[in-house]
Amino acid sequence: MRVTIKPFQQVELNPAKQVLQATPYEVGLILQARPPVCKRQVCIVCRAQETVSPPGRQFNPLLMGAVEALFRFPPFFNAAAKNARRMIVKRAEALGLDWEGAMRGMQAQDWEARLKAVTNPAVTYPDYYTQPFHAYGKGNLCWEAALEVTMAAKSVHAAVMDPAGREMDPEGDAKLRASYSARLLQCLSDLGVDPGNIRTITDLGCATGLSTLELMRAFPSADRVTGVDLSPHLIAVGRYEQELRQLHAQPVPTFCIHAANGGVPEGALTLLHGAAERTPLPAGSQDLVSLCLVCHELPQGATRNIMREAFRVLRPGGVMAVMEMNPQSATFQRIFGNPFAYTAFKSTEPWLQEYITLDMPGALRDAGFAAVVTREATPRHKTVVALKHGW
């Protein structure tokens, strides 16, 4: 399908303004950017991908194709990403969170020493990971992203439990993660898996370990929970935040950090710097592999590779669990049908189209999993659990 973008309106490249004036069925733009020394107009012609969506509601390839083309234009991306980050900070402050104060406290640490302590020099970074995302030019490979991730999660997830997305709750992020645990346990019941048999857990794409700690709480019988993330910056901040929780005597498990020149240390909870596609874990060593809010940050090829790696490290009878946004939910359908909302969302998620066109149950079966069950986690998220036959 070829879509020609016809100039019907000029748009000032200003992040404070609405930058996409198109209905879902009208895709015509001309961007007018004003660099310091010259004027130029950019007329965009794009090919809209034919999308493959699950039965039911469908996505609009015209809108998606146009927005994909826009975000390949650097001034547009930079403006949209800057505006998105500003809105995240503004919402956090409206929730009563002291964003600036939290950042000042974090910046007092010797982060370079912490980074050196956790970095695995053998890790290489795939191309998809070195692109700008989440409104950061270096993605997760920078201190700004790592230091802000906990506050940003509280801001972004403040409205997830409200179907209308209007009620802001400072505990929204915690409730989101707790809902994942609850639905995961229900899915295990659906599959006939006893949660008491879950003794070893791996959390892929763990970031600073918020999801990893939630898994530890959800499965108190677990002997070991391992978090793996490709960003050493996130791993370093995760260790620091865990130290703070221990200092304030919060009921959290013992924390261990992976040394770059050693193996997995003893202890209940471990964070590893590494790629989810190629973990150092032995084959058949895990009872549960979790992927929490990661797939939408990946191209489909990477998601499939991670699913195959999860299948490899799981014991027979083990399960893979995924918590993700639900593209078929009414909330996301409203976003995908609204040019302004979709553009704002896309500004922080470069691989969004890859995710929403992914057949997740099919991808899990392709990786070798047998039964796959899905439950709604929140009005805009789902939990998907797949079983590796054997018990």
Q: Which of 60, 76, 92 is the last residue of a domain?
A: 76
Higher per-residue pLDDT: 257 or 27: 257
212 shares its domain with 337:
yes
Query: Which of 98-107, 120-129, 290-299, 339-348 is the least confident region?
Result: 339-348
Mean pLDDT of 178-182: 97
Mean pLDDT of 8-18: 36
Amino acid 248: pLDDT? 74
81 shares its domain with 52:
no
pLDDT at 385 over 70: yes
Q: Report yes or no on whether pTM surpasses 0.85.
A: no
Amino acid 339: pLDDT? 79
220 shares its domain with 328:
yes
Distance, in Å, from the CA atom of 140 to the CA atom of 146, rounded to the nearest integer, reads: 7
pLDDT at 78 over 70: yes
106 shares its domain with 188:
yes
Query: Which of 42-51, 339-348, 376-385 is the least confident region?
Result: 42-51
311 shares its domain with 360:
yes
227 shares its domain with 100:
yes
Higher per-residue pLDDT: 338 or 67: 338
Amino acid 153: pLDDT? 95
Amino acid 343: pLDDT? 78
Query: Which of 59-73, 147-161, 269-283, 333-347 is the least confident region?
Result: 59-73
For the segment 216-250, what is each residue's pLDDT rounded down to a tens digit?
999 998 999 999 999 999 999 998 887 787 777 55
Amino acid 80: pLDDT? 73
pLDDT at 295 over 90: yes
Higher per-residue pLDDT: 162 or 391: 162
Q: Which of 76, 95, 116 is the last residue of a domain?
A: 76
CA gyration radius, the chain: 21
Mean pLDDT of 365-382: 97
Q: Residue 69: what residue type?
A: A
| Domains of the chain: total | 2
57 shares its domain with 117:
no
Instruction: Name the maximum alpha-carbon separation found in the chain.
Output: 68
For the segment 342-357, what is each residue's pLDDT rounded down to a tens digit?
877 877 888 998 999 9
60 shares its domain with 109:
no
Choose from 236-250, 262-276, 377-391 the range with maximum mean pLDDT: 377-391
Mean pLDDT of 210-215: 94
pLDDT at 312 over 80: yes
Q: Are 191 and 387 in contact (CB under 8 A)?
A: yes
123 shares its domain with 239:
yes
Amino acid 52: pLDDT? 35
CATH code where residue 94 lies: 3.40.50.150
Q: Which of 22, 53, 76 is the last residue of a domain?
A: 76
Amino acid 250: pLDDT? 53
Domain range for 294 is: 77-391
